[in-house]
Amino acid sequence: MSNTSLLSLFFFLSLCISPSLSDLCNPNDKKVLLKFKKSLNNPYVLASWNPKTDCCDWYCVTCDLTTNRINSLTIFAGDLPGQIPPEVGDLPYLETLMFHKLPSLTGPIQPAIAKLKNLKTLRISWTNISGPVPDFISQLTNLTFLELSFNNLSGTIPGSLSKLQKLGALHLDRNKLTGSIPESFGTFTGSIPDLYLSHNQLSGKIPASLGSMDFNTIDLSRNKLEGDASFLFGLNKTTQRIDVSRNLLEFNLSKVEFPESLTNLDLNHNKIFGSIPAQITSLENLGFLNVSYNRLCGPIPVGGKLQSFGYTEYFHNRCLCGAPFESCK
């Protein structure tokens, strides 16, 4: 027998004896994943994680096509009682980590996640994770998407998140976050993320520094924010969506200049006074407007999209007049 055929015979036999030799999966990654599964008491959602099979074929994970290292772990819509196990930090090639719609997932955001320097997407949403938004997230400098929405997170928002230069979206909405919006959120360098902070208990003034950011989307609705928000607007911006509804904001709308790019504007349930500026009729793409429940007065400007909105988008103000209300006297 030639050396080559001996070698292939050996290879063939070894395949039969130990299927793991044919695994694409990195043995360290496999070991870590099996420990992770065990820490969670072998939940049904991870039933496909069979030690006898290639972990690159398991559900909820994917391997990089060239290195075969585990690069994503995404678990969603299932029963996963317990906390995120620390083993998650031992998958050094992870770029995507997602826990979504897992009502029985509790405990803090696992500190070992700080080790995952290659993470680009971190999404822990619709779970019962609690505790603070940890400061260490700002060390994950490759993050482009951070979503921690619909959890039970409390405490204040770490200002250090503004150090994430590649962040395209920051979702911290629907938690129990308190304190004020960090001043540093007016100093994002690199990409300026879409900012979702709604449905929390944020209070105090919106930092004026946010006025120097050209956000595409900013949603601060359903908090306890007070004072001015006029600096979020401005003709030199390309903002599309602004939602500051259901806060305690109090400023004069009369002199505000709206970005031409605006598509959605929700100001409802505040204490905004003055009148609706006529310049708003020049916004060609304005598809949603709600200024109800404020203290606005004077004529609803005629033109643009303004008459395409109904009664409920304008009602409960001090003295707005003109269509869809009675004509001004």
Question: Which one of residues 49, 150, 185, 233 is an interface residue with ligand NAG (CB under 6 A)?
Answer: 150
* Residue closer to ligand NAG, measured from CB, 29 or 49: 29
* Torsion sign, CA atoms 186, 187, 188, 190: positive
3-state secondary structure of 237: coil
- Which of 190, 182, 191, 170 is CA-nearest to residue 121? 170
Minimum distance of ligand NAG from residue 200's CB (angstroms): 12
User: How many residues interact with ligand NAG (rule CB under 6 A)?
Assistant: 31
Q: Is 139 exposed, middle or buried (0-12, 13-18, 19+ CB in 10 A)?
A: middle
Minimum CB separation from ligand NAG for residue 145, in Å?
14
Question: Minimum Å distance from CB 7 to ligand NAG?
Answer: 36
Whether residue 83 contacts residue 107, with contact meaning beta carbons closer than 8 Å, is answered with: yes
State how far the Cα of 123 lies from the Cα of 134, in Å rounded to an integer: 14
| Contacting residue, 2, 189, 236, 327, with ligand NAG by CB under 6 A | 236
CB atoms within 10 A of CB 310: 9
Under 8 Å between Cβ of 304 and 281: yes
Stretch that binds ligand NAG, among 26-34, 58-66, 76-84, 125-133 (CB under 6 A): 125-133
Among 74, 154, 203, 217, binds ligand NAG (CB under 6 A): 154
Site string for ligand NAG, 68-87 (x = CB under 6 A): --------------------
Kindly identify the residues of this chain, within the stretch 294-313, that bind ligand NAG according to CB under 6 A. Answer: 312-313
Task: Identify whether the C-beta of residue 89 lies closer than 8 Å to the C-beta of residue 112.
Answer: yes
Strands 61-63 and 295-299: unpaired
Report the nearest approach of ligand NAG to the CB of residue 168 (Å). 15
Decide: is 41 part of the binding site for ligand NAG (CB under 6 A): no
Give Cα 303 distance to the centre of its chain: 36
- Among 202, 274, 306, 317, the residue binding ligand NAG under the rule CB under 6 A is 274
Is 223 among the residues that bind ligand NAG (CB under 6 A)? no
Residue 14 in contact with ligand NAG, rule: CB under 6 A: no
Nearer to ligand NAG, 49 or 283 (CB): 283
CB of 69 to ligand NAG, least distance (A): 12
Written as six digits, the tokens of 33 are: 């994943």
Q: Does the protein bind ligand NAG through residue 268 (CB under 6 A)?
A: yes
Tokens for 154, please give them: 């409390």
Q: Report if residue 209 touches ligand NAG, rule: CB under 6 A.
A: no
Pairing of strands 61-63, 70-76: antiparallel
Question: Does 152 interact with ligand NAG (rule: CB under 6 A)?
Answer: yes
Q: For residue 304, which phi and psi values (nearest 5 degrees)? A: 55, -135
Structure-token pair, residue 256: 């505000």
**255 near ligand NAG, judged by CB under 6 A:** yes
Residue 306 in tokens: 């303004």
Q: Select from 145, 134, 26 the least CA-distant residue to 97.
A: 145
Residues that bind ligand NAG (CB under 6 A): 103, 106, 117-118, 126-128, 130, 141-142, 150, 152, 154, 176, 212, 214, 234, 236-237, 252, 254-255, 268-269, 273-274, 290, 292-293, 312-313
